[in-house]
Copies of this chain bind each other. A is one copy, B any other.
Amino acid sequence: MRVSRAQAAANRRRIVTEASRLFRERGYDGVAVADLMKSAGLTHGGFYGHFESKEALMAETCASSGDIRTRWERLTAKRQQPPFQVLVEQYLSPRHRDQPGHGCLFAALSVDTARQTPEVRHAYTGTFRKFADMIADWLPGRRANRRRRALATASSLVGALVLSRAVDDPELSSEILDAVRQQLLGATASATPASSGKPAKE
């Protein structure tokens, strides 16, 4: 039941990909190593040949989301609108809200991360910096205080998604998303975009 070196590397990547999805869907404590390995088509015990611990995997998961920018750039390149507008509309879309497993790391795992090991928090922070830098580059309007405005924008986006997922009233949930979209895009915001195209990743 052994496997080639290349196959083993592919298996490892698959474990990270599955973990990334499952952690975001169910939270760190909501995913058992055995479940995860089953999702990846492998057995429980095999996990520890690839990772030192579940926490080490979590750290790698946070770091592996570091290519967010590439994904967002690919997504925005397809559209006519400015990247900032696409980002805000996709991020605050019902689709993104309803697919946490394929969505933003920060909205899904920030609270878990705050209680995690230093390694996990460090990997998370690095990925967050990239996200904030991307927003800063894309901000419309005057160039002053870009960084400050980018951090405020990131907070609004993450807060809105987190709250819209927790609330049990669909109407209130949409209201939260719309409120922040209007705040960030002003009256420019198109009515209800967001339902076409790829799901928003990260």
Contacts and interface: CB of A to CB of B under 8 A. Distances in A.
Interface of A: 26-27, 29-30, 100, 106-115, 118, 121-122, 124-125, 128-129, 147-152, 154-160, 162-163, 165-169, 172, 175-176, 178-180, 182-183
Nearest to A118: B168
A155 B166 contact: no
Say how many copies of this protein the assembly contains: 2
A168 B27 contact: no
A162 B158 contact: yes
Contacts of A121: 166-168
A163 B128 contact: yes
A113 B166 contact: yes
B176 A115 contact: no
